[in-house]
Amino acid sequence: MEVIIKSSYEEMSKTSAQIIAREIKKKHDLVLGLATGDTPLGTYKELVRLHKEEGLDFSKVKTFNLDEYIGLDPLDKNSYNHFMWENLFKHVNINSENVYVPQGNTDDPEEFCSWYEKKIEETGGIDLQILGIGGDGHIAFNEPGSSFASRTRVKALVKQTIEDNSRFFDTEEDVPRFAITMGVGSILDAKKIILIANGKNKAAVCAEFIEGPITSQITASALQLHTLATVVLDDEASSKLKRKEYYNWVRDNKQTVQKRIGR
């Protein structure tokens, strides 16, 4: 796992947007896996800037979102579909037919989940998956205990996630208790993964998933099993890492390192 530590949230966001932009320029029909939440807001803002000011072209890009609350209409202001349109899609030249977000109000969630998996496969699989991390170490809505082999499915949210996400709703009771989520196995199938995290409240869980043992109790630790996973943190989120000096050395000597390891 490559660990990149930046001085601030803004720098973390710029770095992750640059990584995404680089991949889009290399492959115009990139299949991008997307996350919602507070963390990627700066990244999406920077991608919008790159599109508006530097012509970053999304016209052939396909996107698959990680998750969606069950029971919410796609137009509901708290749906992840609405979040994506407000914060990214409506500001860039993406083709709406290339945008996939799990459908929270489907009549048959199980059938929808199989369809979603098949759709990802039909496009050739996700080239680059963007992830955030929950306070309990979840990626997407893969709560502690989720199998590393899990695929897109319905998941019951844990109490901490319901509490964490209640900030977006009028009351905690309004937070849906279930979500459709890509599985850990679906995420690990992505060709490249980038996880971003910021803030003091993510420091402990970041140290655990990067430097601790691989465990389904912290599903982000599954990234240790991936060959091309990059983690971009701000200074606060990196504050409990033990091997910071090494990660920074690799960063400062990146060209030499890349020449040697060809990455």
* Residue ranges in 48-67 that form contacts with ligand F6R under rule CB under 6 A: 66-67
- Convert residues 8-37 into a mask of x (bound to ligand F6R by CB under 6 A) and - (unbound): ---------------------------xxx
Q: How far is CA 230 from the centre of its chain?
A: 11
Q: How far is the CB of 143 from ligand F6R (least distance, A)?
A: 10
Closer of 104 and 132 to ligand F6R (Cβ) = 132
143 carries an active-site annotation: yes
Query: Shortest CA distance to 89 belongs to which of 99, 76, 104?
Result: 99
Taking CA atoms, 253 is separated from 80, 155, 246, 259, in Å, by 39, 42, 11, 10
Nearest-CB residue to ligand F6R? 132
* Residue ranges in 79-98 that form contacts with ligand F6R under rule CB under 6 A: 80
235 binds ligand F6R (CB under 6 A): no
67 carries an active-site annotation: yes
Residue pair 94/58 in contact by the 8 Å Cβ criterion: yes
176 binds ligand F6R (CB under 6 A): no
Q: How far is the CB of 68 from ligand F6R (least distance, A)?
A: 8
Q: How far is CA 72 from the centre of its chain?
A: 21
Q: How far is the CB of 44 from ligand F6R (least distance, A)?
A: 12
Query: Shortest CA distance to 28 belongs to which of 122, 94, 89, 86?
Result: 94
SS3 82: helix
Query: Shortest CA distance to 140 belongs to which of 153, 127, 128?
Result: 153
Catalytic residue IDs: 67, 136, 138, 143
Interface residues toward ligand F6R, by CB under 6 A: 35-39, 66-67, 80, 132-134, 138-140
